[in-house]
Each structure stands twice: as structure tokens, then as C-alpha cells.
Amino acid sequence: MDKYSVRTDLASEAIKDFQIPEEEKNINGIELKRVFVDEENSGRIGKKPGVYYTIDTRAIETHDNDDIVNCENVLANVIKEVMEFENIKNEDKGLIVGLGNINVTPDSLGPLVVDNVIVTRHMFMINPSKVSPGIREVSAIAPGVMGTTGIETFDIIEAVKSKIDVDYMIVVDALASRSIDRVNKTIQITNTGISPGSGVGNRRKELSKETIGIAVIAIGVPTVVDAVTITSDTIDIIMKYMNNLHRNKPEEIDIENTPRPNKEYREELFGNVGALSEEEKRQLIDEILTPTGFNMMVTPKEVDLDISDLTQIISKAIDQALHPIVGPYEA
């Protein structure tokens, strides 16, 4: 029996079962985590070596303007840190790439961000002496998906990069998570690049420093989970809830932090299924759902509003990080 591979693009989830240190801080109610993955741990968790930042925010859940603005400012500072880590200078030319299919809402984040960022390359070409200090040279492209263009996304971006001679890229895409609690609530920023289509389980050739020849900063948000994850998490929530009732603690369940009940109590509730480990449980569900075609990719019903808020957060954060003349924004 092959080992089941949990579908996640988030480093913070991938390191969960390993003893890899993660720095944490809270900024105005926003949880910011940073982890450095070295060569040794890269093979263990299945993530490329590099730095990974994770922003956990309830701004998308509350849709509160102050929360959204705070998230924009935190994300902008993280982007600046990654740019410094990659030695990107003010005079370097940037290309913002919005990956995804604009006609599919959960996959439209990248193209929508590109529609909303400040692009300035034309100003530097036409009349560079009139460009205000504090403005970088930035261009943007949404290359679409192979199903609508017939061209590999990587090939389009490589052609554009060679034609306009850029020094770094910021790539935005939808991701997949292994927890329903993170969908549309977590933003990952990394210097390791990204694989187009990862959010919908259709990985293409990766965009990274190794493949494209320049620094690639990837910004991603999990917008979908698969049915295996939803089913597994639902079973866990039931077990945790029943365990709390059993201990006369019927408080609200924290999916991430509430521990699973012990094996004996799980087995009492769910029989042989309850006795399975987390990995074995997910593998069983996958073996049942996948052959029947029921292992679908699922997104929340409020995805339209969520994507709209995420577009604002990411596009404004990129503008603030790239152009010193912009921001920080005030709540």
C-alpha cells in the first residue's frame, strides 16, 4: 500500500509532524510565523529549502476594514523582508505574475491582483525623468492557464522575462491546504518559487530561481481543500466535541489546537476507524472517495467576497512594499 500524501502547499502544515523550529509573533491580532527550511529538512517535509512566512488572519472572516488594513501592512513588511533576503535593490526591475484562471473564482486570485497593482514600466520607457522618487520600475502579466492558451505558463513567463529584462518576480497564486480552518485565512510568502496550478491539484513546471534564473517571491493563499480533508477534519471535530462533552467541557472546538482524544475513546466512538492514526484515516478516506470520483476540490460559499478582500490585501501590500512613496496604510 502506497503511503498517502496529504495535499498541502503550506510549509507551516508540512512541518507540523516534525521538530522544526518556527518563529512566531502577534502583530495587532495577526499571527505571523517564519520558518527556515534547510537541505536536510527539505527532504523530510517535501518543501524546497528557503524561508517561509505564514500570516494567519481573521480579516477575511470578519471583513472588517481595520483588520484588512492591518493585514496589508503586515504583508507589505514581510514582502520587504524577503526582498532584502534576496538582495533586491531599488533600481531593480520587477515583474508581477498573476497565476490562475480568472474564470474560476477560487483560482482567480492571481489575475485579479495583477489587475489592481501599480505598474510603472511604461512611465520609465516614455519619460523616465518625470517619474517621482520612490517609484520602482514594475510590470505585470496574467498569463492565463494552459487550458485556455495552449501554452505552458512557464514558457510564457520565460519569454516575457527574456524580452523585457526583469531582475526579480513576485508571483501570486491560489494554493491548497490540508485544513479547512486555513482556507482563505492564511497567506504564505516564500523565496522558493511556486508551481502553477498547485491550488487545484494540477501542478505545472515550477517558477523558481533555479528554473527562471532570477529571484522569485511567491505569495499564495489556500482557496480550496479536497473532500478527503473535509471528511477527515469532520470526523476529528466530532471526536473532539464528544470528548469535550465527556469531560463536561462543551466549549467551542479549536480545530488546530484541540488535541484528539486517546485511542481507546476514539475506538469507543468510531470502532476500527477511530483506532486509526491520522495518516491511516486520511488514506482510508482517499481510497474510498478517489475511485468513485467523489474526491472533489471544494471552496467556501463566500468565496467571491473572500477573493475580493484577498485581492485588495495582496495588491495593496505589493504596492506598499515595492514603492516607498505608497503607504503604510492607516486603519
pLDDT in tens, 165-214: 899 999 999 988 888 888 999 999 999 998 775 545 555 688 999 999 99
**Residues paired with residue 23 on neighbouring β-strands, in sequence order:** 34
Q: What one-letter code names the amino acid at 130?
A: K
Looking at residue 215, the DSSP 8-state letter turns out to be E
Helices (H), the chain: 11-14, 39-45, 59-62, 65-85, 109-116, 121-126, 146-149, 153-164, 209-212, 227-246, 263-270, 278-292, 303-322
Burial state string for 36-58 with b = 16 or more CB within 10 A and e = fewer than 16: ebeeebeeebebbebbbbbbbbe
Residue 314 CB-density burial (10 A; 0-12 exposed, 13-18 middle, 19+ buried): buried
pLDDT of residue 1: 40
User: Between vectors from CA 317 to CA 195 and to CA 188, what angle results, nearest 5°?
Assistant: 35
pLDDT of residue 276: 85
> For residues 26 and 38, is the Cβ–Cβ distance under 8 A?
no
Q: All domains of the chain, ordered by start, with CATH?
A: 11-224+300-322 (3.40.50.1450), 228-297 (no CATH)
Q: Could you say which residues of the chain have pLDDT below 50?
A: 1-4, 199
pLDDT of residue 198: 54
How many angstroms from the chain centroid is the CA of residue 64? 21
Could you tell me the three cell numbers for 11? 510549509
pLDDT of residue 253: 59
pLDDT of residue 9: 80
For residue 131, report the phi and psi dihedrals to the nearest 5 degrees: -75, 130
pLDDT of residue 251: 60
